Amino acid sequence: GQSLEQPSEVTAVEGAIVQINCTYQTSGFYGLSWYQQHDGGAPTFLSYNALDGLEETGRFSSFLSRSDSYGYLLLQELQMKDSASYFCAVHNQGGKLIFGQGTELSVKP
Amino acid sequence: GAVVSQHPSRVICKSGTSVKIECRSLDFQATTMFWYRQFPKQSLMLMATSNEGSKATYEQGVEKDKFLINHASLTLSTLTVTSAHPEDSSFYICSAIPDRDNQETQYFGPGTRLLVL
Give per-residue pLDDT as tens, B93-109.
999 999 987 767 889 99
Question: Using an 8 Å Cβ cutoff, are B39 and B100 in contact?
Answer: no
Residue pair A15/A107 in contact (Cβ under 8 Å)? The answer is no
Dmax over Cα atoms in chain A, in whole Å?
42
Count of A-B CB contacts under 8 Å: 56
Q: Which pLDDT does position B30 carry in this prediction?
A: 93
Integer Cα distance of B10 and B20 in angstroms? 11
CA distance linking residue A5 with residue B13, whole number of Å: 35
Contact between residue B108 and residue A43 where contact means Cβ atoms under 8 Å apart: yes
Nearest in space to B88 (alpha carbons), one of B115, B68, B61:
B115
Name the residue with higher pLDDT: A102 or B106.
Answer: A102
Contact A95 B42 (CB under 8 A): no
Sign, CA torsion A36/B29/B26/B109: negative
User: Residue B106: its pLDDT value, please?
Assistant: 87
Q: Does the distance separating the beta carbons of A99 and B44 come in below 8 Å?
A: yes
Q: Does B25 touch chain A (CB under 8 A)?
A: no
Q: Is the pLDDT higher at A95 or at A89?
A: A89
Using omega within 30 degrees of 0 as the cis cutoff, is the peptide bond preceding B8 cis?
A: yes
Interface residue B44 vs chain A (CB under 8 A)? yes
pLDDT at B14 over 70: yes
**Subunit contact A44:B108, Cβ cutoff 8 A:** yes
What's the pLDDT at B103? 67
The pLDDT confidence band at residue B2, using thresholds 50, 70 and 90, is confident
In the predicted model, what is the mean pLDDT of residues B18-33? 95
| Mean of pLDDT values over A100-107 | 96
Query: A33 vs B104: CB contact, 8 Å cut-off?
Result: yes
Position A40 scores a pLDDT of: 82
* pLDDT tens per residue, range B47-92: 999 999 889 999 999 999 999 999 989 999 999 999 999 999 999 9
In this prediction, residues A35-43 reach a mean pLDDT of 91
What pLDDT was estimated at residue A94? 82
Q: Nearest Cα to A43, choosing from B16, B81, B94, B17? A: B94
What amino acid is encoded at B46 in this protein? L
Residues 6+ apart with CB under 8 A from B99: B28, B29, B30, B31, B74
Residues linked to residue B49 through DSSP beta bridges, in sequence order: B34, B57
List residues bridging with A75 in a β-sheet.
A18, A60
- B46 pLDDT above the threshold of 90: yes
